[in-house]
A = this chain, B = another copy of it.
Amino acid sequence: MAKVVVDITASLDGFVAGPDPTLEEPLGRNGERLHEWALETASWREQHGRSGGQANDDSGLIEEATSSTGAYVMGRKMFSGGSGGWEDDPRSRGWWGDEPPFHAPVFVLTHHPREPLELEGTSFSFITDGIERAVELARSAANGKNVAVAGGGATVQQALQAGLVDELQVHVAPILLGSGTRLFAELGDPVSLEATRVVASPKATHLRFTVRP
């Protein structure tokens, strides 16, 4: 059975981006430090059309996530980069360039309807009727594979609050970011988890949990 998986990198203090995101620094101040664990891996480089890189545990986890994911759900800011605000411009191709690293259909949560954007190996569809609908469409598009809720924090929180998430994988970067966008806000009722795997690499601690029914 295909799962809905949150797969995201956060600082130990729970931030997925630093403060003051801009188009130049879409992850905010110091936010790029969160992803240092991924940047040198062979898998990340391959996803981004580059060769080389390290074939380590970190790389294996990226490869595992990529190969098991059939569709992505993300927020409008993640599509448009940083502070957003131009994702509704029908000419915009998003922040990810002409060959985005998502080699599967992407469903973008937004308030602004626009036509789907077809790019090399990816499509971006813009969903204006909420997280449930976005996940439902992603499930259909995923062809039996998993749906990855890719971020940012607000989108993850909506998915959790709606009870849509089956599994959480948090890549904990060894840093206290000190401020920025939180992965988890106030959710309301507790959600019981089961720890199903820990992979410790020098650059990140990868925690995986199943959401208990």
Contacts and interface: CB of A to CB of B under 8 A. Distances in A.
Interface of A: 11-14, 18, 30, 33, 160, 168, 170, 172, 174-179, 183-184, 186-195, 198, 200, 202, 204-205, 207, 209
Given A33-B190, A175-B190, A177-B190, A168 B12 contact: yes
Nearest to A201: B195
Contact of A178 (B188, B195, B198, B204): B188
Contacts of A172: 207
A33 B189 CA distance: 13
A56 to B, nearest CB: 15
Contacts of A170: 12
A202 B175 CA distance: 25
B175 A193 contact: yes
Contact of A198 (B179, B194, B198): B198
B188 A179 contact: yes
B200 A174 contact: no
A11 B184 CA distance: 11
Given A195-B200, A198-B198, A12 B209 contact: yes
Contacts of A189: 178
Contacts of A187: 13, 176, 178-179
